[in-house]
Amino acid sequence: MFLKSLTILLLVGGILGGSAYFLHELYYKDKKLDVIEETATPTPTPEPTPDPSIAAFESMKPTLAQNTIQARDAVLQFLAAHPNSPKSAEARAVLGRLNLALYRDPAATPTNIVYTVKKGDSLVRIASQNKSNAELIYWANGLSSINLQIGQQLLVPQFEAALVVDRANSTVTIFNNGEFFKEYPAVSLQIAGTSAIETKVVDRMARKGEARVPFGHKDYGDTERFVLLGAGGATIKPTPAAPADGSAPVMPAGIVLKPEDFSEIYVLVKTGTPITIN
């Protein structure tokens, strides 16, 4: 009897002891692990390595503020060394500004001709003799009148433009003799289709009402101007004036640029200028 009772007590003790151990393992040990995990020091996230081209471009800015050949060369070297830099778009914008400013400097653009006005000369005649266009000569020399003086020196630009229109990025890029000249953001770009188009400038138009007005005419400053392309009658135009009621202007089909950008494109292209639309 005594042995039987002892056996039962041992069995009960074993069961209770095993349960206690099981509960300890299940509950208290897990809690202890939780505490350890909660108090563990998190692994710090490493700081991303800054793109070295950003600092390189920022260090160039004092030089780039000057319209010099050295500044242009510095930008060209930067773009060649860092074509995929986060600063590449800004660098191209600076290069465009420098190209435009230096284009009027004979020392910076030796392909341009310096012409001395003779008796009987006009802008149209000078342009015809030197494979340029009268309005481009007028613009390049910052003239305020088409009347010339004998002995006056004029810069006669030699510009062979080509345009590339990028639908995806809404930009118009102009090249001179195959080299990047300047990039313009389009205000609106509505050209039918998605496939690449090879076309050209069909005409540069200046109209007052229904009448065409030639450069040099007294009414030329009051004309509506646009560039007509060979692709389905598409055009390049400046942003239209806002309506009198203050609503947003309706953008025409084709390519719309800011007025100041359109003015540059208008004088740099000519009939026959090739255009690629991507």
Which helix (H) or strand (E) is 272 found in, with range? none
Who's near 36: CB < 8 A, 6+ residues apart?
none
Who's near 268: CB < 8 A, 6+ residues apart?
136, 159, 161, 174, 176, 181
Q: What is d(CA 70, CA 78) in angstroms, rounded to the nearest whole number?
A: 12
Residue 84: is it exposed, middle or buried by C-beta count within 10 angstroms (0-12/13-18/19+)? exposed
Nearest to 266 by CA among 205, 210, 175, 195: 205
- Residues carrying CATH 3.10.350.10, the chain: 113-156
Angle of the 88-102 helix axis to the 69-81 helix axis, nearest 10: 150
- E strands, the chain, are 113-116, 153-156, 161-166, 171-176, 179-185, 188-190, 197-208, 211-212, 224-229, 235-238, 254-257, 274-277
Q: What is the signed CA dihedral for 109, 112, 118, 121, rounded to 10 degrees? A: -130
- Residues carrying CATH 2.40.440.10, the chain: 161-277
What is the CATH superfamily name and number for domain 113-156?
LysM domain (3.10.350.10)
Give me the pLDDT at residue 276, please: 95
Who's near 110: CB < 8 A, 6+ residues apart?
none
Per CATH, the number for 161-277 is 2.40.440.10
Q: Give the angle subtended at the CA of 272 by the CAs of 276 and 241, to the nearest 5°.
A: 75
CA dihedral sign, ordered 259, 180, 160, 111: positive
Q: What is the pLDDT of residues 175-233, one digit of tens each?
A: 999 999 999 999 999 988 888 999 999 999 999 999 999 998 999 989 999 999 987 67
Q: What is d(CA 186, CA 161) in angstroms, rounded to the nearest whole number?
A: 18
The mean pLDDT of the chain is: 85
Q: Which of 45-49, 117-121, 122-126, 261-265 has the lowest mean pLDDT?
A: 45-49
- 74 three-state secondary structure: helix
Q: What is the pLDDT of residues 4-63, one digit of tens each?
A: 554 544 444 454 445 545 444 544 455 554 555 555 667 777 777 888 899 999 999 999
Mean pLDDT score, 154-161: 90
Answer whether 227's CB lies under 8 Å from 204's CB. Answer: yes
In the chain, the percentage of residues whose pLDDT exceeds 70 is: 85
